[in-house]
Structure formats: structure tokens, C-alpha cells
């Protein structure tokens, strides 16, 4: 089956994608990974992507679609794909359907991770990590404690520059305006399943597991 894992920034899409890879043998297709992979190739497309990124511009849907299409045509992952961070808008969603159809595939499921925005803001803006072992903590939910690595006695807590309330608010606004409308499109196909992502990680994984096993039965 092919799955879209859907939800706002900080909802846990990456964490649950890892769970699906480990427990159901699926392949995670992330646009960020695809872009990094292409940049390493030194291709003409890589040069174009690098130029856009250096200029602070967004990579076009056309480029993203071409990278996605190349992966979809790989028979070793046929009908075993998790789309993480894609599609991000309605045009991309429609293009994905076309690309899958061209390769005799379709989407089986859209997992909609539902989280209260106030919690998301704390999840993201509260993230800090140990400067030495890179262990991640959260100032609100998992305050920094002693690292298991004895070498971390001289550590400092590091926060990513974009992990702040202003950036989080902007990302959520973009999500509401551009990405959230995709749910109506997928709901019309009756493939959306809501997940209570306010629960702990294990509980969220259990909800997903039950849905997938029901689909396979």
C-alpha cells in the first residue's frame, strides 16, 4: 500500500514514518531527502536546485514532481511508499495521483495526525539538544536532564534558529492556507483516517497499526 502521512509541523510525521518502515516494511519518501540526494549527484538539475536555494527561493512544484516521479517508477518500492511532507498543496496532490496512476499504483491511505496547535508550538519552540551527544529534550515536556554520556558534563543546550514561536506561527499559517485544504480532496476519496496525535508516541503508533492491519485483512 501507498500512504500519505499528513499533519502540521511538529505532529510527529517523521517519528511515525520510522515506525511504519520498521514494522510494515515500507519506504519513506521525503522531499527533503530527495533534494539532498539530487544535490549530491552534481546533475544539471542539482545545479538548478542549488541556485534556487542559494537565492532563498522555493523549489518549484515541477522540480519536486520530477524527483517524486523518478522514485515512484522504481519497482523495488512499488506500493510500499510513505509520502512524508508531500503533497503540500492541492496541485501536488493531483499530480501525485497522476504519477501513481501512470505507474499502475494508487494511494491506499492518508493518516491525518491531529494535534492542538498550542501543543505544537511548545513541542517545536521548546526543542533543545545537548551540544555534545545531540540528545533532544523539550523545555516544556521533557526538561534537560543529565545525559547518559559522561563526556557531556561540559555540555550546553542548543536550540535551532528556526525553533521559535514566530517561525512556528508562520509555518502553521502556511499549513492552514496551502496544505490543510488537501484533506477535503482526499476525504472525497474516502481514504482519510484521523489519528489522535496528542497521545504518547506508542499510543499513536498503535492507532496507526490497527488501521493498517484492518486494511490488509
Q: Tell me the per-residue pLDDT of 36-55, one tens digit each, with 9 for 90 and over.
A: 888 888 888 888 888 887 77
pLDDT, tens digit (0-9, with 9 covering 90-100), for 146-180: 988 889 989 999 998 878 888 888 888 988 998 99
Residue with C-alpha cell 501507498? 2
84, 78 Cβ separation under 8 angstroms: no
CA distance 1 to 180: 23
119, 202 Cβ separation under 8 angstroms: no
In a domain, 202, yes or no: yes
Q: Is 213 exposed, middle or buried (0-12, 13-18, 19+ CB in 10 A)?
A: exposed
pLDDT, tens digit (0-9, with 9 covering 90-100), for 12-30: 898 899 899 999 999 999 8
Q: How many CA atoms lie within 13 A of 104 on its CB side?
A: 4
In a domain, 164, yes or no: no
Task: CATH number of the domain at 104, please.
Answer: 3.40.50.300
In a domain, 173, yes or no: no
Confidence of residue 215 (pLDDT cuts 50, 70, 90): confident
Instruction: Give the count of domains, the chain.
Output: 1
Amino acid at each position: 500500500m501507498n500512504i500519505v502521512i499528513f499533519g502540521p509541523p511538529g505532529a510527529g510525521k517523521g517519528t511515525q514514518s520510522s515506525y511504519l518502515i520498521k514494522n510494515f516494511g515500507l519506504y519513506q519518501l521525503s522531499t527533503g531527502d530527495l533534494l539532498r540526494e539530487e544535490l549530491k549527484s552534481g546533475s544539471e538539475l542539482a545545479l538548478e536546485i542549488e541556485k534556487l536555494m542559494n537565492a532563498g527561493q522555493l523549489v518549484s512544484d515541477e522540480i519536486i514532481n520530477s524527483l517524486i516521479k523518478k522514485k515512484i517508477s522504481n519497482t523495488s518500492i512499488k506500493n510500499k511508499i510513505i509520502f512524508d511532507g508531500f503533497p503540500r498543496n492541492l496541485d501536488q496532490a493531483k499530480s501525485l495521483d497522476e504519477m501513481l496512476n501512470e505507474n499502475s499504483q494508487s494511494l491506499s491511505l492518508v493518516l491525518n495526525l491531529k494535534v492542538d496547535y498550542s501543543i505544537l508550538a511548545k513541542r517545536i519552540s521548546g526543542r533543545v539538544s545537548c551540544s555534545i551527544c545531540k540528545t533532544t529534550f523539550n523545555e516544556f515536556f521533557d526538561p534537560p536532564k543529565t545525559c547518559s554520556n559522561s563526556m557531556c558534563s561540559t555540555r550546553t543546550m542548543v536550540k535551532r534558529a528556526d525553533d521559535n514561536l514566530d517561525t512556528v506561527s508562520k509555518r502553521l499559517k502556511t499549513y492552514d492556507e496551502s496544505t490543510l485544504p488537501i484533506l477535503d480532496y482526499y476525504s472525497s476519496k474516502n481514504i482519510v483516517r484521523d489519528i489522535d496525535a496528542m497521545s504518547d508516541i506508542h499510543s499513536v503508533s498503535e492507532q496507526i497499526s490497527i488501521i493498517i492491519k484492518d486494511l490488509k485483512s
